[in-house]
Chains A and B, each alone.
Chain A
């Protein structure tokens, strides 16, 4: 049966909660579940394991971290990704560092879920792509699924992982539908997917940029431009080998991300390609990102700010000289 992104999340949560009685869900409005991801969990698992929190991100994110240290497996929802800013100490100073600082004593099996990205007129404080803010904090794993099937498999792996993992769900992918493999569908963290094989250029696309890049690749295929689309799926750990192998084959690289141009995931991956695949490159590694501005509210401004299909196409054309 075709499954949406949101249903995929719901299935993953339900299956993992069934599997491990020490998992539980907490966050704002998870009982009623406005976006639908946690809908019905209260009926299956009851109020001990499905908990509405006060609007108190620093407090409840930190409480989830403490609960993980004390032997449970929290799944903590932070509604919009920008609200992580309210809880940075607990994520970056506490969850990320305590295992290392305790010489490996602490186990931190905690999964954070949040909605990121521009979804049309939500303005700067509800549209940001914030995973780059965590890229330079060692100790946290970052997952950015681009389709329902990966969403489910990655979220299940994230929940079983013994480290803090943040799963970023793009707000505009919610309605996408596809068949999901039956059974205990797991996608390992750290394994990129070749979403489309091609010869002329490697495009590393992240999250919501994957379906957009695939549409551009379809279009360019009609002009015999063969685009290979790699979806890293997790930014930490990063499947460098898959990206580098593709670039060695195509000799050209474009990185597409909805984050910003400076200091973003695209900058990070472009630097890795530039450093490790330099000898294979026929041209500069190009980045297609959102402009370095807060996401504006008005639709024409929002459109101008964001990475989009026209910009992706232009960058690919520049890379292949077509």
Chain B
């Protein structure tokens, strides 16, 4: 097609002007490439963390509201969420998954505990904090506690972290409890008790109504009839992190049960068996809707529904800031780029008015003249695009490093200037005094978690991807089309004779 051919010839005929045009488009494209690469990579990182940190829901006690509702009564009962509610919450459509866990304590006449001679542990206050001291048989604290309220065994359901991390392993022929009435115990406990897989044991436990305080508890005894479906090999230290050494704290005496067995016995206000639920939203943005649903299902106002925003903010804060900068940058570059391209196109048409007049005088249609000019711009743009993508791709990483370093530094400075010990730690938990104990909340509190896992992102690897390339192509097309449109507008304003006569 002669129009394209003529456009190419024109490009070569007017090297100076075209090089200037190319230089400007090149700058716009390189800047956009860099900014878009940063922006898109940052978006990816942010989304990744958002789903990782933003989707895990915490139901935490809002102590401020608890105190408000207590009517000045001296004894404030920490609110609990009944297990049946926790289970009802799990059926929400907003959830990707739910992890229910439970924990309790018990005794069994059918078992012989490891370190039985070191005595039991636990007690009514167990859940508020273990009884201090050695925990031996002659312990003064324990002596005041009735024998049946002293425990040798931890009961767990769905708490398999150690198995995942590899510090515990199922022995051959073993499996986890899959239905009601099944349990998993340690290989040592099995051998110590002279039992075998498939045997049935009876476990006694209890739950209690704390009443008005210590001494006022009402105990309800529970009995579990359990078949041993497997054993585990414990590769960890017997006492783990516990300060006390007794049968109760010995990790070989931990019994894993089916979740429903342990959870279903708990009703509102009863303690002794803790049921926790961790909910994972399909999308962090569903939090509000999910909260509304929980309220409708009976979640008390004394509980807050939150995600781990603090950790999320601390981690991705600098990346978000950098993304903001890159976005602003793109906007500015594009705005200026568009203005400059528009001006250049306008000037080009003016400068080439005579040429256009000649073409029109020879009977070339306006649309074809415009197509020719547009072809020239597109060619320059395409040329700049290829080089711009390459140069921008190389420049993106060092620029990212500089930007992110600045943001990390700024974030750290802000953090050290802040009175808050942890970033964003203004949640309701702080009022409760110390991290909310896992025993009363449905999941760990944000602050608690945030401190341990919030490691700010200090570097990200940027790379050009298809999305970025497509965006750049669209931008380039829009820019050159803008130039083309301006050319067409100007051309249609002139009649060929008038253009030619103006020159004469």
Do A and B come from the same complex?
no
